[in-house]
Amino acid sequence: AQKVTQAQTEISVVEKEDVTLDCVYETRDTTYYLFWYKQPPSGELVFLIRRNSFDEQNEISGRYSWNFQKSTSSFNFTITASQVVDSAVYFCALRRSSYKLIFGSGTRLLVRP
Amino acid sequence: EAGVAQSPRYKIIEKRQSVAFWCNPISGHATLYWYQQILGQGPKLLIQFQNNGVVDDSQLPKDRFSAERLKGVDSTLKIQPAKLEDSAVYLCASSLLANTGELFFGEGSRLTVL
């Protein structure tokens, strides 16, 4: 069975703090893809990153970084020096090749000025 | 490049009434998805099309929900008759590649069933 768990329902931080959003996944497949999406108040899901199961290199994109660890089945997302515009719901998702994208329940991030 | 277009943005109906949502994907994207997102939950796939053929509709409540994608471009999702538990945001998405590509989402259609 495939499953994505985002245990943090809601996180509140003050602007400029660093924040990490946790994602734990379950799958028996050796080939799979992991994603992070951002859902701002407008409702549209915005793609942030895709990582395949054979690439465990961490990735940094500006203030965003992702830590993929197959040993712990985790794909965590860190925002450095958070800003108010980062306030949104963030979803982690899992996909087998050719199969549907399964989302976690999301983490609501509130960045206070 | 235009994004995924959806309409209407909001719809309020009474239970047992019917409703239809429309989606126009990004030009050239062969794969189209309809997701249901209930408040406080992650999106759940209802149906996936590859061109105008159905790839996965295992979680579509077929007794009341139907979807079609004529000519492999835009798509319509219909609910008839609606139930209270159908209140949700219906998200349409498209992707260029069916197996590895990222999904591009529309802003969604929010349905309230009274």
**Minimum Cα–Cα distance from B100: chain A residue:** A97
CB atoms within 10 A of CB B7: 14
How many Cβ contacts (< 8 angstroms) between chains A and B? 51
Nearest by CB to A101, from B40, B45, B89: name it.
B45
Q: pLDDT: is B51 or A12 the higher one?
A: A12
Position B100 confidence tier, pLDDT thresholds 50, 70, 90? low
Judge: B107–A47 Cβ closer than 8 Å, yes or no: no
The rounded mean pLDDT for chain B is 92
> Residue A8, class by beta-carbon neighbours within 10 Å (0-12 exposed, 13-18 middle, 19+ buried)?
middle
DSSP state of B84: G
With a CB cutoff of 8 Å and minimum separation 6, the contacts of B63 are none
Q: Which residue of A has its CA nearest to B101?
A: A50
Q: Do A42 and B106 touch (CB under 8 A)?
A: no
**How many CA atoms lie within 13 Å of B51's alpha carbon, on the beta-carbon side?**
2
Q: Which of A93, A94, A95, A92 is nearest to A109 (CA)?
A: A92
Task: Judge if the upstream peptide bond of residue B43 is cis by omega within 30 degrees of 0.
Answer: no
Beta strand pairing call for A59-61 and A24-26? unpaired
Q: What is the mean pLDDT of residues A29-54?
A: 90
How many other CB atoms are there within 10 angstroms of residue A64's CB atom? 16
Give yes or no for residue A98 having a pLDDT over 70.
no
Give which of A29, A16, A30, A13 is closest to A90, Cα–Cα: A13
Average pLDDT over residues B77-104: 90
Burial class (CB in 10 A: 0-12, 13-18, 19+), A112: exposed
Closest-approach residue (CA) in chain A for B92: A44
Interface contact A90, partner B, CB < 8 A: no
Q: What is the pLDDT of residues B27-56, one digit of tens each?
A: 989 899 999 999 989 999 999 998 889 988
Cβ-based neighbours of B95, under 8 Å, separated by 6 or more:
B29, B31, B33, B101, B102, B103, B104
Measured between alpha carbons, how far is A77 from A90 in angstroms, rounded to an integer?
9
Return the percentage of chain A with pLDDT > 90, whole number. 70
Q: Could you tell me the pLDDT band of residue A96, with boundaries at 50, 70 and 90? A: confident
Contact B100 A50 (CB under 8 A): yes
| Structure confidence at residue A97 as a pLDDT band (50, 70, 90) | low
Answer yes or no: is pLDDT of B88 > 70. yes
Residue the block writes with tokens 């295992």? B58
Task: Give residue A109's pLDDT.
Answer: 97
